[in-house]
Amino acid sequence: MIRVLIADDETLMRAGIRLILENDDRIRIAAEAQNAPEAVEACRAHLVDVALLDIRMPGDGIAAVTEIARHSPHTRTVMLTAFGDETTVTNALRAGAHGYLLKDTGPHALIDAVHRAAAGEPVLAPQVTRQLLDFRTRSGHSGDAASRRTAGLTPTERDVLRLLGTGLSNAEIAAQLHLSNGTVKAHISNILTRTSCTNRVQAAVLAQEAGLLG
């Protein structure tokens, strides 16, 4: 059972998300919150597995990410918001968010995202991934720092990181590289350690910055 927190200052939005997620009998809504401090406390009190956080709720959703990581490190934080601009996305991911979804995400995609986040997999809306790539192209981002961080990876680890950057799950990466799921998991753990990334989403962004996606 995946314990989920819904944090949004709009009552109707919380009700809609609850209605969608309750269609999956493997998901339980553990708590709701209207602001960032309530979200932080709820994660700690209810042992939340996945926290869906609105960025613009009172108290600042990004600040909640940082506090949740400090007090409830087992909780996976996913931003669920209407704001998908490059600066907001980047700030959320740098704060340690495990995923970023837009509020126009469909019901099935939202349920799948909760399961993927609970499994420790990266969750990025396709629109967000495209925006990050477009932004780096427009800004002329050289990726030198990212390239240095990935320089020590083995060829297989670079392949795993590249596929991670496209949003693939462990099983999908394993299938493409003809590896076992356990081996992929071990490679990802090594990648996070060697690149100083705190989670898979930050590693996915690093793959994009380093130009591994082509």
Domain ranges of the chain: 2-126, 142-209
pLDDT at 167: 75
User: Residue 177's beta-bridge partner residues?
Assistant: none
CATH of 2-126, one of 3.40.190.10, 3.90.180.10, 3.40.50.2300, 1.10.490.10: 3.40.50.2300
pLDDT at 163: 92
How far, in Å, CA of 163 to CA of 142, rounded?
21
How far, in Å, CA of 58 to CA of 29, rounded?
21
pTM: 0.74
For the chain, the three-class secondary structure string (H helix, E strand, C coil) is CEEEEEECCCHHHHHHHHHHHCCCCCEEEEEEECCHHHHHHHHHHHCCCEEEECCCCCCCHHHHHHHHHHHCCCCEEEEEECCCCHHHHHHHHHCCCCEEEECCCCHHHHHHHHHHHHCCCCEECHHHHHHHHHHHHHHCCCCHHHHHHHCCCCHHHHHHHHHHHCCCCHHHHHHHHCCCHHHHHHHHHHHHHHHCCCCHHHHHHHHHHCCCCC
pLDDT at 25: 96
List, run by run, the mean pLDDT of 10-residue segments along the chain (214 residues): 97 97 97 98 97 95 94 94 79 86 92 92 72 53 78 96 86 94 94 88 82 79
Buried-exposed string 8-35: b where 16+ CB fall within 10 A, e elsewhere: bbeeebbeebeebbeebeebebbbbbbb
CATH fold of 142-209: Arc Repressor Mutant, subunit A (1.10.10)
Question: How many CB atoms are located within 10 Å of the residue 103 CB?
Answer: 17
pLDDT at 140: 47
